[in-house]
Amino acid sequence: MKKSFNVLNELLVETFNDILEIEQKALKEGAFSELSITEIHTIEAIGMYEPKTMTEVGKTLDITVGTLTTAINNLVKKGYVERKRDEIDRRVVKIALTRKGKLAYRVHEKFHSDMVKATIEGLTEQEEDILIKSLDKLNNFFKEKYHLHR
C-alpha cells in the first residue's frame, strides 16, 4: 500500500505538471504563440459549431461573465473570436470562433487526442475500464472536495 501510494502520488503530480508545461511549450513554439493556456481553454469552451452566450461559456469555465469579458475582448482583438447578434433576439450577443479560432481549437484538440491515444495504447479493454473508473473516481473526489461544478 505504502509503495503504490507513493508511486501514484508521484505519477499524478508529475503528469499534471507535465501536461501544463507541454501545453504551454506547444503554444509558445507553435503557430498560436500569442495565446495563453487560459485563452486556449476559453476557445475550447466556446466550441466549434454553435455560437454561445457569455453566460454559457462562463459556466463551462466556472468563471464570472465579468472575468470572461476580459478574455473575450483579448481574443476578439487577436482575431480568434467574434461577437454575433442572435438571429431571433437581436438584444442577445453570442460569441463564436473565427476561422483562426477554429484552427486553434483543432490543434489543441489534436494534442488531447494524441495524449489519450498514447495513454491507452497497448491496454486491454479491461485495463482501459479500470483506468477510466480510477480517473472518474479521482475527478469526482475533486468535484466533491473542492466544490467544482463543471
pLDDT tens, position by position, 128-142? 999 999 999 988 988
Set out the domains of the chain in order of their start, with CATH numbers. Answer: 2-122 (1.10.10.10)
Query: Which residue from 55, 79, 80 is spatially nearest to 69, judged by alpha carbons?
Result: 55
Assigned C-alpha cell, 145? 472536495
The number of beta carbons lying within 10 Å of the beta carbon of residue 78 is 16
pTM of the model: 0.80
**pLDDT tens sequence across 1-27:** 678 888 989 998 998 888 888 887 877
